[in-house]
Amino acid sequence: MQNYCDKTIHEFSWDAIDTILLDMDGTLLDKHFDDYFWEQYLPEHYSLAYDISVEAAKKELLARYAAVEDTLNWADTSFWSRELGLDIPELKLRINHLIGVHPYVIEFLEHCIKMRKKLYLVTNAHSSTLSIKLEKTALDPWFDQIICAEEIGLAKEEPLFWNKLEKLLNYDKQRTLLIDDTEKVLSSAQQYGMGHLLFVARPSSRQRVQYSCSFPSIEYFKELLPR
């Protein structure tokens, strides 16, 4: 079922866009992997390691996640490995079969290449997580460059992130499209002055569609392909 904010995409001309910035988790990749890992798989292993119930482990971990939300530490596997005393990258590798690319992503990337657009993958994911996911999906050849937030020194939720990214990539922000499944990220990019913003309303194949009330939204990338 769709939510009340069923906001369809605004019409725009591809001629007005030179550069496309794409988020990874939830945008290109099914967020089910991440949701399952952090909300179920890791609490189970944490409960075994510290001899507490899964429910107690989940409650503790959710509180610890919330404490670093919207910061680089949230996605930093080295941080969590130290904090929890568990090998987070190794645990992610054990369930890497759950990593999957959303439908129509490859077709969209092909279309962007045909239109001669600059393509950049811009993610908050830690470099170790990025390596695991690129090894599984082989998406890296599509991109002119891949940028982790740790390289910038800020999370994408910080408006200053985009100023630093612009200096790094030298794009025209008014002729740039950002596609992301996180409204806080889109809001920070809007505050910075990004020209075109698009929200992904179906980040996980296991969750219901949730359209944005603030940004134009798509469920699948096929909505951006020629009809």
pLDDT in tens, the chain (227 residues): 445 565 556 567 899 999 999 999 999 999 999 999 999 999 999 999 999 999 999 999 999 999 999 899 999 999 999 999 999 999 999 999 999 999 999 999 999 999 999 999 999 999 999 999 999 999 999 999 999 999 999 999 999 999 999 999 999 999 999 999 999 999 999 999 999 999 999 999 999 999 999 999 999 999 999 98
Q: Measured between alpha carbons, how far is 89 from 81 in angstroms, rounded to an integer? A: 8
Sequence spans of domains, the chain: 14-31+101-224, 33-97
Q: Can you give the pLDDT at residue 227?
A: 82
**Integer CA distances (angstroms), 108 to 43, 142, 223, 224, in order:** 36, 11, 9, 7
Q: Can you give the pLDDT at residue 52?
A: 97
Q: Can you give the pLDDT at residue 37?
A: 97
Considering only the top CATH level, what class is 14-31+101-224?
Answer: alpha beta
Let me know the angle formed at the C-alpha of 143 by 139 and 144, rounded to the nearest 5 degrees.
155
Reduced to 3 states (helix: H, G, I; strand: E, B; else coil), residue 25 is strand
Q: Can you give the pLDDT at residue 185?
A: 98
The structure's pTM equals: 0.94
Q: Can you give the pLDDT at residue 2?
A: 47
